[in-house]
Each structure stands twice: as structure tokens, then as C-alpha cells.
Amino acid sequence: MTSKRHTLLLLLLLATPLMAANAIGVRGKIGPQGKPKRVQRLQIRKSGVYENYLVDGKFAGGNRVKITANNVTVRHCEIRNCSGNGIGVFGKNVLIENCRIHHMLAGTFKKQRDAHGIAGRWNNVTIRNCEIYYVSGDCIQFDPDRRSSGKVVIDNCSLWTGPLPSDTVGFRKGQRPGENAFDSKTPKRGPRCQLVMRRCVLKGWRQPGQISLVAALNIKENVDAKVEQCLFIDNQVCFRLRGPTRRGAAKVTIKQCAIFDSRIGLRVEDKLRDLKVSKLGFNGKVRRKYHFVGRGPFPGYENKDETKVDSYEKLLKQGWP
């Protein structure tokens, strides 16, 4: 009997992570819990865990949370109201989880300036279960200075934009701020930077007038990007994938993602090489699934097992099968 109970417990323990792994977007409680520590800026110069902060930048610039130490966790925080970056990562081995980052706004809608949710160096960074929205730049951008190499993992995040509910600094009610949910910038040479994005929701990147071409993912330069089980909803371009330029070329793998109600699914530029796509799903109105810019060739391109998927409401509720 004892052996059977042990076996049942082991099966439950093994099953729990698998169930959690199917979730898409943020899950559970994010942001501060209870009474947070309220600050206007948080500078992290020592290793450790920093949690339950409410950082209200009052629309000051710079990195409102600036991480220069290695081995840092930022957990259950809210960062809001900045004209610079919400979090700037300059240390190594950094985990950001269960955070809400919003209203990073600089300039105006017509004269946009960058203010990112999270930016910094490719130094082994994990961003998990975070919601980032209403940014005039990108929700996440690595590395704006093009001085680093390493890996960034983005898991179960919701990266979105939409009409502002009220006038905010230089932006008016109803305007949609933002350039991209994610933008990659890398050094020209050296080892490829590594991007892994899994089970994220990227929604609403279609605003005219902010910039000429809005994309949920703008993947370019010397990066190896793997995007899996993500949902793309109501975007002008879902994937903007860019090949050889003077700053290098992206290498991209897309697996089991789904695109809904968007103008363009995949926009492939600059004779991108070795694009691998599998189990890409579509539903709703997608004006153009694939747009290959220029005559090509696009050597090494593979696209297998395209499918029709359930509604995004069902996938959000039940997760990937």
C-alpha cells in the first residue's frame, strides 16, 4: 500500500509541471503583494532578491530599476510612469518574474522617443510571467547599445498595446503607443546572441502613425531566435524577420505558434537564410499569411504542417494541447 501511495505521489509531482507548462501568457498574481515598498527609483548594486516594490517614476527618465549586480532576482514588482526604461539590465544571471511594467512613455505620438519596458545586455536574463504594456518604444529590447552577447529567455509573458484610456504626458486618450513587443539588437560579430520565447501573448501592435511598420517581433542582426507556442493577435506584422545587413543576419525557428486577425503573419526580408517554421496555426482574418520582400532566394526555408487552430480565447483558457 505504501508503495502505491508513493507511486501516486510521484505521478502527481511529475504531472504538475507539465500542466503548468501548457499555460500561455501571464498566470496567477503579478505585481506587488500586500503593502509594497514605494520608491521613485531602484538601483540594484548587490546580488540578491528584490521583491514587492512599487516603482513610480513620475515620468522621470533613465532606467528606473537599474541592475548592475550579478545574480539578481526582481520579483512581484510594479514599475510605472517613466519616460525612460522600466528596467535596465547590466548585470549577469538576472531573473525578472511576476512583474507588471506599464506607461513607459517619452515624446509624443507624432514625435515618438524610445522608452522600453525592459532593456539591457544579453547576459543570461530570464523574464518570466510578466505583463508589459503602454510603451512608446518596445516592451523588451536587447541590446540597445550593441555591446553584449549571451542569452535572453522570455516565458509566459503578455506583451501588448492598445488605445490609452486617458491623456498621459505627451500622449492623448485613444492613441496607441509602441514600436514592437520585442526588438533584437546585437554586435556585428562574435557568437550569436540567443533568444528563446515561449508561451507568450503578443497583441495589438498595429498602430498607424507611431512608426511606419509596426511588428510584434522585430528579429534582426546576429541572433539565433526560437519562438514556440506563442499567440499573435491583432497585429500589423506578427513576425518581422530580417536577413543579412551590415549588422548581420538573424537565424529563426518558429514552432507551434498561432496568428489571429492580423494584417501580415510572417514578413521575411533581406534574403533571410534557414528560416524553419513548423505547426504554424491561423484563425480569424489574416490578410496575408506570408510576405517575402524581394525576389530572394531565401535558401534553407522550410514550412511544415501549417494548421487551423482553435480560437485564441480557448487556447488562453486551456493552453496548448
Distance separating alpha carbons of residues 239 and 143, to the nearest angstrom: 19
Position 270 scores a pLDDT of 94
310: left (phi over 0), alpha (psi -120 to 50) or beta: beta
* Mean pLDDT across 148-158: 97
- Give me 62's grid cell: 533613465
Q: What is the pTM of this model?
A: 0.92
Q: Give the phi and the psi of residue 27 in degrees, each rounded to 5.
A: -135, 145
- 31: which residues sit within 8 A by CB, 6+ positions away? 76, 77, 78, 98, 99, 100
C-alpha cell at position 312: 485564441
Check: CB of residue 215 under 8 Å from CB of residue 182: no
Tens of pLDDT, residues 272-296: 999 999 999 999 999 999 999 988 8
**Spatial CA neighbour of 72 closest among 110, 37, 99, 45:** 45
By the 10 Å C-beta count (0-12 exposed, 13-18 middle, 19+ buried), 302 is classed as exposed
Rounded Cα gap, residues 299 and 268, in angstroms: 12
pLDDT at 209 (0 to 100): 64
- Among 138, 162, 135, residue whose Cα is nearest residue 152: 138
| Contact by Cβ (8 Å): 246, 219 | no
Give mean pLDDT, residues 27-45. 96
Looking at residue 6, what is its pLDDT? 37
Which pLDDT value is given to residue 21? 58
Which three cell numbers, joined as nine digits, stand for 180? 514592437
| DSSP letters spanning 132-143 | EEEESSEEEEE-
Q: Would the pLDDT of 10 be above 50? A: no
Tell me the per-residue pLDDT of 91-112, one tens digit each, with 9 for 90 and over.
999 999 999 999 999 999 989 8
pLDDT at 17 over 60: no
Q: At CB < 8 A and 24+ separation, what contacts does 312-316 make? A: 312/231, 312/233, 312/258, 312/260, 312/283, 315/24, 315/231, 315/258, 316/24, 316/25, 316/201, 316/231
Residue 5 in this model has a pLDDT that exceeds 60: no
Class of domain 89-318: mainly beta
pLDDT tens across 190-239, in order? 999 999 999 999 999 998 767 789 999 999 999 999 999 999 999 999 99
So where are the chain's domains? 89-318
Q: For the chain, how big is the Rg over CA atoms in Å?
A: 20
